[in-house]
A and B are shown apart, each in its own frame.
Chain A
Amino acid sequence: MEPGDPTKQARAATQLRKGVLEYCVLALMRDRPRYGVELLHALEDSGALATSQGTVYPLLSRLRRDDLVTTTWQESASGPPRRYYALTESGRAALDEFTRVWPGFRDAVDTFLTAPPSPSPSPSPSPSTGDLA
């Protein structure tokens, strides 16, 4: 496997994004309601989470149907009214749950990725643990 293959990197990023994108979107609404274009800019600025903009709208639509967010229309001083997305109680609960689970998940992945190619130091009944590395 060539380490620098851009197609493979893109695929890995896409897979990762699928799982975490909705929680990042929820997190963006934690402090205040946001409108669609605003959310997309924030995602874009993050770099790693930047995605084809249009694909975020189906996600927002599902969050709304699942009652994780609510929307309200607000007039704007410039241009058309914007649809603002805000967390519901269950949305906040889902975000809190993810926030709680994420550090352990991240650390576990880090452990696998950085483990030296030797048997893990933890006591294990199976002698084949080294195969993981």
Chain B
Amino acid sequence: MKTSADPVRDYLSAVEREASALPADRRQELLADLAEHIEVTRAERPGVATGEILAELGDPRTIAATALSEAGGETAMTEGGAAAPARRGKVHPLVPLLMLTLSLPFTMVFSIGPDAAFDPGPVFGVLFRLIGAVLLCTSVHWTAVQKTTGVLLTVVVPTVLFVTWNLISGWAAPETQALLGSLGALTLITGTSVWLWRTRRV
């Protein structure tokens, strides 16, 4: 048996091992809950040894067994309850990120040029970006700070850049420059989305 210098990591991997029969998302949620508990307890009782915190949490096997029985008894529990209410804020975290990222390619794909009477490209783009921003802000997967940064980098900054760019160039920028600008914005939005995806709370 190998021992590492990090008892918390050892403890969490023991829970992970014991809970291997759980669906992956449940297992990750359980691990996140336990990790948060350890972090909060450490902050609230700085004098207490990590070993004691882990001992109070209990045997990884017991926790895993409880999680498995909770997962199994679910149908029995819900049958007595009312119809499931709307799941506000429980949209999959990929949805807002994809909408934000794809808003720009959509603008480009659907755009038929500024000369047309009605250009659907920007309309699609703005719509996607707005819905993406709303979903991002109402999601449970990010903190307020992350949400603000996300909206700034994926919506506000690109929009401001585009508008100023268009105003300066009088809506008639050379193709290559416009393309470069779009690619730059796309990189920024994609990068921010990847960051949000990686830092999301499970």
Please give the residue numbers on chain A whose beta carbons come within 8 Å of chain B beta carbons, in ascending order: 35-37, 40, 52-55, 57-62, 65-68, 70-73, 75-76, 78-83, 88-90, 93-94
Contact = CB atoms under 8 A, between A and B. Distances in A.
Contacts, number: 100
Given A65-B74, A73-B143, A73-B201, A78 B44 contact: yes
- Chain B, interface SS category: helix
B119 interface: no
Contacts of A89: 85
Contacts of A54: 15, 34, 37, 57-58, 60, 62-63, 66
Contacts of B59: 52
B130 to A, nearest CB: 23
B85 A53 contact: no
- The interface size bin for chain B is 35 or more
Closest 10 A/B residue pairs (Cβ) = A79-B43, A52-B58, A58-B67, A54-B63, A54-B57, A55-B66, A57-B33, A58-B70, A54-B58, A62-B70
B143 A57 contact: no
B44 A61 contact: no
Contacts of A72: 140
A78 B42 CA distance: 11
